[in-house]
Structure 1
Amino acid sequence: MTIQIGHDAPDFEAETTEGRIRFHDWIGDSWAVLFSHPKDFTPVCTTELGYMAKIKPEFDRRNVKVIGLSIDSTGDHEGWARDIEETQGHAPNYPLIADDDFNVAKLYGMLPAETSGDAKGRTPADNQTVRNVFVVGPDKKVKLILVYPMTTGRNFDEVLRVIDSLQLTANHKVSTPVNWRQGEDVMIAGSVSDDQAKELFGEWDAPKPYIRIVPQPA
Structure 2
Amino acid sequence: MRVFISLLALTFVFSLTGCESTYYNAMEKVGVHKRDILVDRVGEAKEAQQETQEQFKDALTEFRSVVSFDGGDLEKYYNRLNNEFEDSEAAAQDLSSRIDKVESVAEALFDEWQDELELYSNARLRSDSANKLQATKRQYASLIKSMRSAEKSVDPVLNALRDNVLYLKHNLNASAIGALKGELAGIDRDVQQLIAAMEKAINESDAFIKQLK
- In the superposition, the TM-score normalised over structure 1's length comes to 0.22
User: Higher strand proportion, which one?
Assistant: 1
Greater gyration radius: 2
Relative contact order higher in (CA < 8 Å, ≥ 6 apart): 2
- In the superposition, the TM-score normalised over structure 2's length comes to 0.22
User: Higher helix proportion, which one?
Assistant: 2
